[in-house]
Amino acid sequence: MTEHVVIVGGGTGGTVLANDLADRLDAELDAGDVRITLVNDGPDHVYKPVWLYVPFGQREPDDGRRPLDELVDDAVDLRIDRVSEIDTEAQRLRFDGTAPAVDYDYLVLATGSTLEPERIPGLVDGGYDYYSEVGSTALRDELLEFTEGHLVLSVIGTPHMCPAAPLEFVFMADDWLRERGLREDVDITYTYPIQRVHGNPHIAEWARPIMDDRGIEVETFFNAESIDPEAKTITSMEGTELDYDLLVTIPPHGGIDLIEEAGLGDNGWVDVDKHTLEAQAVDNVYALGDTADTGVPNAGSVAHYQAGVVGQRLASEVRGRPPTATYDGKTLCFIETGMDAASFVEFDYENQPSPAPPSEKLHWSKLAYNDSYWLTARGLL
């Protein structure tokens, strides 16, 4: 009998996994013992870290977009469709419209995060973001016209994609404004929902002195409750109100409703064993990347490393062997500290991050990785 592995989501985790399995199970695919299907709701693969650079004119949105059919191994069945139901009892996926259902033997959910700005009154009309293609271009246009006033970066949604990106934005904005001779006319304030500037205390301890040295004001324990676009104010649940001239936010994030409807976890995140990445509620289901509730950052490197683990485990299962590969929490991240310098962190479940001293070398290393990312998506790096 041919076993069917279905991956839902064509982001970093899903695409890397599809190519990983095509390589690992090459003989089984040739023999007809296994099929691999990748389902995505659109034809393109999007590399979202590019969006950080769009507001500063360093990148174009198209730099982070490639057709999935150019990235995915020919041995993988690519299906462009939207899943409407996950039936874990029947091990079946249903789709919008009249498209036929698909049965699976193993299911991997890599559906990622979605932005939910409508959860905060006034945010849709009152704030900008760089966590979407349209948001990054709109912010670019606004930032180019911004020459004086109060720039507020407010982290509203946690957890969120690319946890270091809010720090990166204010560091880059500070440097970019200085290069243009505008920094003295622009105040920058950074807000964060807890009593430090980042969720990880070691990164927060490293970042705060840099912010202080550069005159970036900080408001911690600031949980945004509402925004008044006409008055240009943002108010927190704690009662703090800030005036702004330009508001940049990290909007609330959520998963997809299908996951909760299928009984796999709350808020669109799958409850998994943080080492095996297997769903806790049902058998034969894995999750990775943002979708997997492991407690590690929602970062592309996490999805990449997790894809390798899930690939090894699925290959073992298809071959009738006990899976032994486990994920150790490995995460790595470059952190831009300006327009021409960056830091780097690497950590896991057992070892805490220790950010490297910022350097131009690390900045160029990050840019080089961004340019070579397509090799990662293809499973070549």
Q: What is the pLDDT of residues 54-73, one digit of tens each?
A: 999 999 999 999 999 999 99
pLDDT at 273: 97
Whether 3-113+255-330 and 117-252 share one fold: the answer is yes
Structure tokens at 100: 């036929």
Question: Does the structure show a pLDDT above 90 at 196?
Answer: yes
Confidence of residue 126 (pLDDT cuts 50, 70, 90): very high
pLDDT at 234: 98
pLDDT at 157: 76
Question: Does the structure show a pLDDT above 90 at 356?
Answer: yes
309-317: average pLDDT: 98
pLDDT at 370: 93
Q: Between residues 324 and 99, which one has the greater pLDDT?
A: 324
324-352: average pLDDT: 96
Global pTM?
A: 0.95
Residues 330-345: b if buried by 16+ CB within 10 A, e if exposed: bbbbbbbbbbebbbbb
Cβ atoms of 247 and 232 within 8 Å: the answer is yes
Q: What is the pLDDT of residues 153-164, one digit of tens each?
A: 999 978 899 999
Confidence of residue 143 (pLDDT cuts 50, 70, 90): very high
Output the 3-class SS for the chain.
Answer: CCEEEEEECCCHHHHHHHHHHHHHCHHHHHHCCEEEEEEECCCEEECHHHHHCHHHCCCCHHHHEEEHHHHCCCCCEEEECCEEEEECCCCEEEECCCCCCEECCEEEECCCCEECHHHCCCHHHHCECCCCHHHHHHHHHHHHHCCCEEEEEEECCCCCECCCHHHHHHHHHHHHHHHCCCHHHEEEEEECCCCCCCCCHHHHHHHHHHHHHCCCEEECCCCEEEEECCCCEEEECCCCEEECCEEEEECCEECCHHHHHCCCCCCCCEEECCCCCEECCCCCEEECHHHEECCCCECHHHHHHHHHHHHHHHHHHHCCCCCCCCCCCCEEEEEECCCCCEEEEEECCCCCCCCCCCEHHHHHHHHHHHHHHHHHHCCCC
- Considering the domain 3-113+255-330, what is its CATH architecture? 3-Layer(bba) Sandwich (3.50)
| Residue recorded with tokens 């999007």 | 46
pLDDT at 120: 97
Question: Does the structure show a pLDDT above 80 at 222?
Answer: yes
The rounded distance, in Å, linking the Cα atoms of 88 and 272 is 15
Confidence of residue 217 (pLDDT cuts 50, 70, 90): very high
183-187: average pLDDT: 98
pLDDT at 351: 95
pLDDT at 122: 97
pLDDT at 63: 95
Question: Does the structure show a pLDDT above 80 at 381?
Answer: no
- φ, ψ (nearest 5 deg) of residue 304: -60, -50
Fold of 117-252: FAD/NAD(P)-binding domain (3.50.50)
pLDDT at 99: 83
pLDDT at 1: 81
pLDDT at 325: 98
The rounded distance, in Å, linking the Cα atoms of 206 and 375 is 32
Q: What is the pLDDT of residues 84-121, one digit of tens each?
A: 999 999 999 999 888 899 999 999 999 999 999 999 99
- Residue spans of the domains in the chain: they are 3-113+255-330, 117-252
Instruction: Indicate the average pLDDT of the chain.
Output: 96
355-365: average pLDDT: 97
The rounded distance, in Å, linking the Cα atoms of 290 and 111 is 8
Confidence of residue 380 (pLDDT cuts 50, 70, 90): confident
